[in-house]
């Protein structure tokens, strides 16, 4: 790995700022705002559902939260580690690799969950389902130079709602 400083573009910074604001709104409202979004401006639908995934940073040990589009498939919650079709996995996906369980919040309800990655025919069926929820996943899959991971979350138990002060800035 290079010692060069990583820089981001203005577009990337604007996206990070938008995600931070979305997370802040979701958390400060107790999940009453931010769960449902209009994603037409990025190729999605006028009603898209998002959850907050909470992980522990694999390097920092800090609590990390990220809002993600989700679907419900076969009694499990599905999220896609697309990172917009980037050639690297999102940090949250790397963080869950060392964890047997994660936590997520949908609207005002939070859960502890186990997770798994579907394989083979199930993976293809789940990916097709998720492209129906958010069509840009089709293009992301075409341009990514990696297999985009799918993560299935199985609820174990309900837990207290996430709090704004729990999020790492």
The helix (run of H) or strand (run of E) holding residue 73 is: strand 63-73
pLDDT per position as a tens digit, 20-64: 888 889 999 999 988 887 777 776 667 789 999 999 988 888 999
Give the DSSP letter of residue 141: H
Please give the average per-residue pLDDT across 142-157, as a whole number: 96
The confidence band for 3, taking pLDDT boundaries of 50, 70 and 90, is low
pLDDT per position as a tens digit, 71-80: 999 999 999 9
Task: Please report, for residues 24, 72, 123, 130, 149, the alpha-carbon distance to residue 119 in angstroms, rounded to integers and kept in the order given.
Answer: 34, 17, 5, 15, 10
pLDDT per position as a tens digit, 35-46: 887 777 776 667
153: β partners? 77, 115
Cα–Cα distance measured from residue 43 to residue 142, given in angstroms and rounded to the nearest whole number = 15
Please give the average per-residue pLDDT across 67-91, as a whole number: 94
pLDDT computed for residue 114 by the predictor? 98
Burial environment of residue 1 by CB neighbours within 10 A (0 to 12, 13 to 18, 19 or more): exposed
Q: Which domains does the chain have, with CATH numbers?
A: 10-166 (2.30.110.10)
pLDDT computed for residue 106 by the predictor? 97
């Amino acid at each position: 790995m290079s010692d060069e400083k990583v820089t981001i573009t203005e577009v990337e910074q604007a996206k990070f700022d938008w995600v931070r604001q979305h997370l802040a709104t979701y958390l400060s409202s107790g999940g009453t705002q931010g769960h449902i979004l209009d994603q037409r401006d990025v190729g999605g639908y006028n009603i898209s559902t998002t959850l907050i995934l909470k992980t522990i940073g694999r390097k920092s040990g800090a609590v990390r939260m990220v809002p993600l589009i989700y679907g419900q498939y076969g009694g499990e919650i599905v999220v896609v580690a697309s990172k917009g079709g980037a050639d690297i996995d999102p940090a949250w996906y790397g963080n869950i690799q060392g964890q047997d369980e994660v936590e997520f919040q949908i609207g005002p309800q939070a859960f502890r969950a186990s997770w798994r990655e579907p394989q083979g025919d199930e993976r293809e069926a789940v990916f097709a389902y998720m492209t129906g929820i958010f069509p840009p996943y089709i293009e992301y899959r075409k341009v990514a130079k990696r297999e985009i991971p799918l993560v299935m979350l199985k609820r174990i138990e309900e837990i207290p709602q996430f709090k704004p002060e729990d999020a790492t800035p």
